[in-house]
Structure 1
Amino acid sequence: MKTETNKKSSLSVAVVILNWNGRDLLREFLPSVLKYSDGANIYVADNASTDDSVAVLKKEFPEVTIIKNKENGGYAKGYNDALKHLEEDIFLLLNSDVEVTENWLGPIMEIFYEEPKTAAVQPKLLDYKNRNYFEYAGAAGGFIDKLGYPYCRGRIFDNLEEDHGQYNDDTYVFWASGACLAIRKLSFYEAGALDETYFAHQEEIDLCWRLHNLGYKVKYTGGSRVYHLGGATLNSMNPRKTFFNFRNSLFSLLKNTPGLSTLSIILIRMILDALAAFKFIAAGKFAHFYAILQAHSSFYRHISILLKKRKNLPKKKEYYMHKSIVFSYFIAGKRKFSILK
């Protein structure tokens, strides 16, 4: 495992915002990034937008460096294409719908300075519209259960906790949110960058899993706070999001689960996915039912490719804190992270 020098003067920072037809979001959220990101270089990577995003950036935000991607390859390819042009030591991948706050970079960078083996960090993610509550896509740091279901400190499934300072700590987590993900450049490329087969959703979980398999750590800091609008690209009612979440979770399990238990874990997960599909039918959400069928079909088509990506897997390593977040939430009624244990 490679490590980087611990000298503060050596760590340069690139804040990189991926944009696709997000002119209005840039106008709303980019000013806070420019105001509070002292010492960082600010980039907007445009994913071949068809609106006037680039023109607006040139006219209204001339201090921002624009990177023009040739196509809209989604989150993973969009960032991979953009980051290869950058030389900074720390990449901070920031959604275009995130408002940052004063000194948001300070606590993040302090962790990188003091902990060479920590490869990725995320701040506290709060809801932009309901500012006293945690935001769905990361909250106070993420985990997965044995079957690959993601959950967060401050958010389990659709239950969002109010922020009372209960997660103001700094602590190690399993995954850091792609909405605001700070990562060492060397670690990013050692892990293999973002997997472009995911296109969008849960690719940060896969990346953080690969970092763990290499011996790195991922951390959350409650000392940094940002506000995420969420759903700016795909909201929870969009069947396309259902497709990506179900498919990409299976991708991560096959790629990263250590040992011979992989097959049994995926089979159990498929049974639970089938139950979720029939639940959508019962609710009259037929598009979401079809999205799950498409997700599994796509997973089958990618199996041979995914098997080739099973690299650096430890012989035995528990990647989960709880065996079944589904049981804890739906059966045991434990709807807050603080009472899971």
Structure 2
Amino acid sequence: MHKVAIVILNWNGAKMLRRFLPSVLTGSKGEGVEIYVADNASTDESCEVVGKEFPTVHLIRLDQNYGFAEGYNKALECVEAEYVMLLNSDVEVSEDWLKPLTEYMDAHPEVVACQPKILSWREKNQFEYAGAAGGFIDKYGYPFCRGRIFEEVEEDHGQYDSVIPVFWATGAALMIRLDVYRKVGGLDGRFFAHMEEIDLCWRLHSRGYQIVCLPESIVYHVGGATLKKENPRKTFLNFRNNLLMLYKNLPQGELGSVMRIRKILDYMAACFFLLKGDRANFHAVLQARKEYTAIRSQFEADREKNLQKSVCKDVTGRYKFSILWQAKVRGKRTYAELIKR
């Protein structure tokens, strides 16, 4: 069994593989480290690129495009390792980036998942939107990070270089113990993409596990390589999956009140898009709520199972305030300002 399996999920990303896979190969050298590319039935030359240009990389050919969540579930059925690193195809890694992660995990068996510090590939002195220096959520399920609150992305001055427990680790570079990943059911394939790693991390927390960000390890993420920001499909998946995540994981005493407030906030978001003249995203939010209502019953068993297995009511990194109120009304622009409230 390998020590670490780096698994890169790919779909029609031949150019990304050529650009970023070399850094993964040179920066991830070490005993017991193996690199895999799991291909989601690409129609470009991705598989040929891996086979001809990167012969030491293991290629897992999936028979169809399963999306991000189920794609990783299918890929990890083909892998045996103590730790797996789920790594986006548009990530450039630094030298020996795995060492701080594996050493910390080895020394802290109570920690089952972690992430490095995520900086922007385009602006290497700035945090990257998807993950930054560790993720959290507010009372109503809105995610934010050390280094990023809504659209406010900070420059990295070492202000978040401490190792801290976080609520969620980004799926762009998520290291997790493979046995625990399988034990809790992995990513929810029905999400397809977006919010699936936060849902997984919530399940881990509720079962008593810990997740941390280790800023000593640094990677650089392009971000938005598959679906650009404010793409209606991305808006739909984010809103729908966020509601499903809340339904699956919220304690019974909070479910009704939180979902009532979320309904109001979602329709406010839809109106905001409409006022901007963005009818596509307006309809995406409405469609997300409609589909959530239509398929919610399919997740009842998951909710019951999660509540039964929960050993922790107040999970680390789920704040009781509204990040919308704190950021948009009170003007809290950074995580440091937010925690001084």
TM-score using structure 2 length? 0.95
Query: In the alignment, residue 226 of structure 2 is paired with which amino acid?
Result: T
Shift of 1:264: 1.4
* The one of 190, 201, 214 aligned to 2:194: 201
CA deviations over 1:231-284 (Å, ceiling 9, x no partner): 001111311110011111101100001122212101111110000000000000
Secondary structure, counterpart of 1:12 in structure 2: strand
Alignment-derived partner of residue 14 in structure 2: 23
Taking the aligned partners of 1:315 and 1:120, their CA distance within structure 2 comes to: 17
Whether the 8 Å contact between 2:69 and 2:196 is mirrored in structure 1 is yes
Whether the 8 Å contact between 1:121 and 1:181 is mirrored in structure 2 is yes
Secondary structure, counterpart of 2:253 in structure 1: coil
Alignment-derived partner of residue 29 in structure 2: 38
Query: In the alignment, residue 313 of structure 2 is paired with which amino acid?
Result: K
Query: In the alignment, residue 325 of structure 2 is paired with which amino acid?
Result: F
Q: Is 1:122 the counterpart of 2:122 in the alignment?
A: no
Taking the aligned partners of 2:312 and 2:230, their CA distance within structure 1 comes to: 39
User: Identity rate of aligned residues, in percent?
Assistant: 52
Q: Is 1:316 the counterpart of 2:309 in the alignment?
A: no
* The one of 213, 217, 230 aligned to 1:220: 213
Taking the aligned partners of 1:328 and 1:322, their CA distance within structure 2 comes to: 11
Secondary structure, counterpart of 1:267 in structure 2: helix
Secondary structure, counterpart of 2:116 in structure 1: strand
CA deviations over 1:177-226 (Å, ceiling 9, x no partner): 00000000111011111101100011000000000011000000010000
Alignment-derived partner of residue 4 in structure 1: none
Alignment-derived partner of residue 113 in structure 1: 106
Higher mean C-alpha deviation, range 192-201 or range 308-317: 308-317
Uncovered stretches (5+) of structure 2, i.e. residues with no partner? none
Taking the aligned partners of 1:148 and 1:176, their CA distance within structure 2 comes to: 15
Query: In the alignment, residue 228 of structure 1 is paired with which amino acid?
Result: H
Secondary structure, counterpart of 2:252 in structure 1: coil
Uncovered stretches (5+) of structure 1, i.e. residues with no partner? 1-9
Taking the aligned partners of 1:263 and 1:194, their CA distance within structure 2 comes to: 25
Secondary structure, counterpart of 2:191 in structure 1: coil
* The one of 166, 169, 172 aligned to 1:179: 172
Considering only aligned residues, what root-mean-square deviation do their CA atoms show, in Å?
A: 1.2
Aligned length: 332
Q: Is 1:85 the counterpart of 2:78 in the alignment?
A: yes
Secondary structure, counterpart of 1:197 in structure 2: helix
Alignment-derived partner of residue 337 in structure 2: 339
Taking the aligned partners of 2:149 and 2:109, their CA distance within structure 1 comes to: 30
TM-score using structure 1 length? 0.95
Higher mean C-alpha deviation, range 186-195 or range 172-181: 186-195
Query: In the alignment, residue 316 of structure 1 is paired with which amino acid?
Result: K
Whether the 8 Å contact between 2:124 and 2:220 is mirrored in structure 1 is yes
Whether the 8 Å contact between 1:258 and 1:313 is mirrored in structure 2 is no
